[in-house]
Amino acid sequence: MKVALVTGANKGIGYALVERLAKHYTSSDDWHIYLTARDNERGKTACEKLKQSGLQVKFHQLDITDENSRKALIAFMKKTYSDGINVIVNNAGMAYKNDAPELFGENARITIDTNFTSNVDFTLECLPLMVKDARIVNVCSMLARVAYKRLSAPLAAKFNSSMTLDQLRLLMNEFVKHAEAGDHEQYGWPSLTYGVSKLGFTKATYILADMLKNDPRKIIINACCPGYVDTDMTDHKGSKTPEQGADTLFYLATLPPGVTEPFGQFVHDRKVHKFLKT
């Protein structure tokens, strides 16, 4: 049995991706597609909606910011699928609508914890379960590039340097510390909590790829941008439909066995975009 897991999938891009994956594998009994969501009822409702349209999907609760929730999902996967996991799409994330100065420190702490720290932790926790030719897709954003371009030269150099995940965590914690102190701009950080969080997750993807490059399982990991999509997160101002936004995620999640590229890249509209050194 093969398993694909999409986080944050009760609506928007994640939901559209689960739907497409389920349609893609509709003729195969070998695949179980999991829709995960933080809220049980919303997740189950989304799952039932897909089932009513004739698609075979499964639900499991997952709040990526909750270590116990992550552990429960991983324990379930270990028990249910002894062969392991084939695809993980780290789509879960959040964005504040208001980066007002008086809220900036708290916003930064919660946004970095969700979009960067928790996603990195979940990926690391899942790695032992990943099978040969597994695919990991980290949903990032072109706003990572915007944030990168607004960094001071010394900070940009740090993000372009070789570093470990622990060193990256310290760097992201520096942003949170200065955001909470209100002096982040003096230290070279932009006032873009979401963009900085996705910059961190993009850099983490590059580091994880370096960690996996000699792994005999030939796991392929990439970061991607779905584009400006009509979802709750964008107040439905995006020009792309969720289905269009899910296209690059689907492309990366279904890269066939034996391919070597893209690997450890940032992908948008199925094309590699470079703004950080890999």
pLDDT above 70 for 234: no
Number of other residues whose CB lies within 10 A of the CB of residue 79: 8
Q: Are 179 and 116 in contact (CB under 8 A)?
A: no
- For residues 31-55, give the mean pLDDT: 96
Strand 85-90, strand 58-61: pairing: unpaired
Q: Are 228 and 240 in contact (CB under 8 A)?
A: yes
- For residues 142-154, give the mean pLDDT: 96
pLDDT of residue 278: 64
State the Cα–Cα distance between residues 11 and 95, nearest whole angstrom: 15
pLDDT above 80 for 28: no
pLDDT of residue 76: 98
> In DSSP terms, which residues pair with 138 in a beta bridge?
90, 223
3-state secondary structure at position 266: strand
Closest CA to 120 of 6, 40, 198: 198
pLDDT of residue 21: 97
Number of other residues whose CB lies within 10 A of the CB of residue 30: 10
pLDDT of residue 97: 77
pLDDT above 60 for 102: yes
Radius of gyration from C-alpha coordinates of the chain: 18
- For residues 214-242, give the mean pLDDT: 79
More confident residue, 46 or 240: 46
State both tokens at 213.
């490059």
Helix axis angle for 12-24 and 40-52, nearest 10°, is 40
DSSP for residue 113: I
Q: pLDDT per residue over 241-250, tens digit each?
A: 878 989 999 9
Structural domains in the chain, CATH included, are 2-273 (3.40.50.720)
pLDDT band for 63, please (50, 70, 90 cuts): very high
- For residues 160-165, give the mean pLDDT: 97
pTM: 0.94
Which helix (H) or strand (E) segment holds residue 65: the answer is none
Residues annotated as catalytic are 194
